[in-house]
Amino acid sequence: MWVEDGKLDGNVAVRDAFQLNGMVTGSISVAPAGRLWLNGMCCGNLVVEAGAEVELRGACHGDILNKGGLLSVYGTVQGGILTSAGGQTRIDESAVVRGIVRREAGPQGQH
């Protein structure tokens, strides 16, 4: 597992197990089979691909797009959360989400 306690400039792609206690100045994308424990801060957006897992205990200053993964939110999201493609999003009662939380139907539900 990769653990980062400092600052990472730019965007980050997570393909393995990654624990962020520091800050990413850009966006984070979590690939299928990737796992992210976000205890720190993401200054951009967070994208959770199908088969990925994310536990957010820190903060995301952008939007979160769950495209079929497992997302658990315990921290703060300044933007909104969009869950699609059969993704599972759990928002703890102590979490703060400032934007809109939406779920879109997958291809079977679209006409």
Residue ranges of domains in the chain: 2-105
Cβ atoms 17, 1 nearer than 8 A: yes
Cβ atoms 36, 14 nearer than 8 A: yes
Q: What is the mean pLDDT of residues 54-80?
A: 98
Cβ atoms 49, 32 nearer than 8 A: yes
pLDDT of residue 109: 42
* pLDDT range class, residue 111, cuts 50, 70, 90: very low
Mean pLDDT, all residues of the chain: 94
Four-residue CA torsion sign, 82, 86, 88, 93: positive
pTM: 0.93
Read off the tokens for 100. Answer: 């809109």
Q: What is the mean pLDDT of residues 38-60?
A: 98
Sheet holding 28-30, edge to edge: 12-14, 28-30, 46-49, 64-67, 81-83, 101-103
For residue 55, is pLDDT > 70?
yes
* pLDDT range class, residue 107, cuts 50, 70, 90: low
Q: How far apart are CA 72 and CA 93, in angstroms?
A: 11
